[in-house]
Structure 1
């Protein structure tokens, strides 16, 4: 495998709370996943109670250069779910853990403080069979949209749609013509044995990407580490709605917290500062995030969630901190990197949103 060793994959995927077995078959490195027999998508009536192993496919060498193509099957290296690549995004990664070159004077980076480096992310589908296994470590990811009618507070979600960084992908191949279970899989992709990977985009996928580009686009990623806790933030503009004779601008933001150290910690509080171009500064404090107080350990080092924010101005900024607790009862604060909330000129959703949908209003 040209210097890539199976142990490197194993060390990544065993942090996922689920049995993942790598086994050699000649020159191939095969992967098997455990499925609880009481999960209908992974079971059959003649299986005993408990867990069974199902062979998923054959690992491929992760790409150090270039990008993965539409139709690439993968295992998520942090959350362990099976997925398939729909298309790539080229984002600007603002990493505050990277020191600026000595030749550059302080303040040379402008309002973002650091220079963005181009980094590849992917729009992916999550296998619905794996959603029960990741629900405690990540919200079942969904991309949310503003509704196309007069109800300015209505949101619609496409579940099982995620954004994945290039280094999160552990690629594999499979001979199964429908290797991923998701309602959009066969609407977006079709099997073509002569292609590598053997899944090619349908016209439906291309039309959906083009028409919904403003609401799907991932452009900026912000990352910062405090005391071995890395926080990554990705903001998305969702559009504008009129409410009580004023314009209200909406954004969604996705946050991942990762424990890069050995010590077990638990997130207890959040503290946000939200600045609007209209001149208002709002402070938000609360327990945990999205109703949870996740524990970040070596076995389960990451937690990911999404939330929403609205402003009565076309742009603004957000920043803040999380308060985490150590096993000895002491607390420490972790910085949330500051990020911009920017609107786009065209904010009239086009309505081409193939289901399934869930109303979040």
Structure 2
């Protein structure tokens, strides 16, 4: 796979049009624009999280939700385009951004293929003399080659208009992280709209699972607990995730996927566990960090 000339990673934010290689998944991509995320490391405040997990274990549920979000760290994430040539070869579900579109009376879930969210630390920047170094339907629509600028591509007005009009379901605000037995789980929830006809609020959530050790494991089961502001409580169990039981080993330590959830209330929260199997046939549980499901204020005010 050819890329270009690698550059030194930057501390400051990257510009629109920056070409990069993903540090973990190895795909080629280009940065469209940044988001400032609140990153909550659920391992840092062990006392609060421990109390909450005890409630979970004893099923002492209330409507207060996960522990208060008081210790967030600000981190830059980027909206990026993935090179179509690399999608079949990366250890991730083909990434799509989804949203509810169409008339309020009959809304459907639409998707935009080949978009991802990448943290600043996962960007390996490079430059290229090619006018179209990334293969994606939106690359030429959003970016224009300009050899006199750095990084060599500038945003077209169509990108700015697209960002503004699609802001509600593109926006990334919270990132929740928890590590159990050297397995790190990162969750990013997105509110994608309301189906007023069915009186349902919809969210997409992206999950990354990383094996930080050299011991191979296989994800065998998922167990979700979903609590709605309306007072309903649901548990969901199943084999693997998105029809797969991914192996996490030294060669392929990371797996990422997205899924959806809906509630009959504008807010709620989710948490859960993954059941992992070791090579010797023994099992252990990995915590999925608790995270809020929240309706955007502008969506609620428009009703």
Same fold by TM (over 0.5)? yes
- Give distance in 1, aligned partners of 2:298 and 2:27: 35
Aligned residue for 1:194, secondary structure, equals: coil
Structure number with greater CO (CA < 8 Å, separation at least 6) is 2
Shift of 1:153: 6.1
Structure 2 counterpart of 1:277: 229
Deviations 1:222-244 (A, max 9, x none): 00000000000000000111235
Structure 2 counterpart of 1:83: 29
Deviations 1:237-266 (A, max 9, x none): 00111235xx21000000000000010000
Aligned residue for 1:84, secondary structure, equals: strand
The answer on 1:176 being equivalent to 2:130 is yes
The answer on 1:72 being equivalent to 2:18 is yes
Match of 2:82 among 126, 147, 160: 126
Instruction: Determine if contact 1:96/1:114 at 8 Å carries over to the other structure.
Output: no
Aligned residue for 2:195, secondary structure, equals: strand
The verdict on how the C-alpha distance between 1:289 and 1:152 changes in structure 2, with shifts beyond 3 A counting, is farther
Instruction: Determine if contact 2:191/2:293 at 8 Å carries over to the other structure.
Output: yes
Structure 2 counterpart of 1:298: 250
- Give distance in 2, aligned partners of 1:131 and 1:334: 28
- Give distance in 1, aligned partners of 2:283 and 2:175: 27
Structure 2 counterpart of 1:341: 293
The verdict on how the C-alpha distance between 1:152 and 1:327 changes in structure 2, with shifts beyond 3 A counting, is farther
The verdict on how the C-alpha distance between 1:151 and 1:332 changes in structure 2, with shifts beyond 3 A counting, is farther
Aligned-pair RMSD on alpha carbons? 1.8
| Alignment TM-score, normalising by the size of structure 1 | 0.76
Kindly report which structure 2 residues correspond to 1:197-276, keeping only aligned pairs within 5 A, or say none. Answer: 197-244=151-198, 247-276=199-228
Instruction: Determine if contact 2:17/2:154 at 8 Å carries over to the other structure.
Output: yes
- Give distance in 2, aligned partners of 1:139 and 1:114: 32
Deviations 1:266-292 (A, max 9, x none): 000000000000000101000000000
Shift of 1:122: 0.1
Shift of 1:96: 1.8
The verdict on how the C-alpha distance between 1:83 and 1:221 changes in structure 2, with shifts beyond 3 A counting, is same
Match of 1:112 among 41, 57, 68: 68
Structure 2 counterpart of 1:47: none
Instruction: Determine if contact 2:141/2:156 at 8 Å carries over to the other structure.
Output: yes
Aligned residue for 2:203, secondary structure, equals: strand
Structure 2 counterpart of 1:37: none
Aligned length: 284
Instruction: Determine if contact 1:142/1:158 at 8 Å carries over to the other structure.
Output: yes
- Give distance in 2, aligned partners of 1:338 and 1:146: 24
- Give distance in 1, aligned partners of 2:41 and 2:22: 22
Q: Where does structure 2 lack aligned partners over 5 or more consecutive residues?
A: 53-65
Q: For the pair shown, which has the larger CA radius of gyration, 1 or 2?
A: 1
Q: Where does structure 1 lack aligned partners over 5 or more consecutive residues?
A: 1-32, 34-54, 349-361
- Give distance in 1, aligned partners of 2:104 and 2:203: 18
- Give distance in 2, aligned partners of 1:234 and 1:152: 27
Shift of 1:99: 4.8
The verdict on how the C-alpha distance between 1:113 and 1:178 changes in structure 2, with shifts beyond 3 A counting, is closer
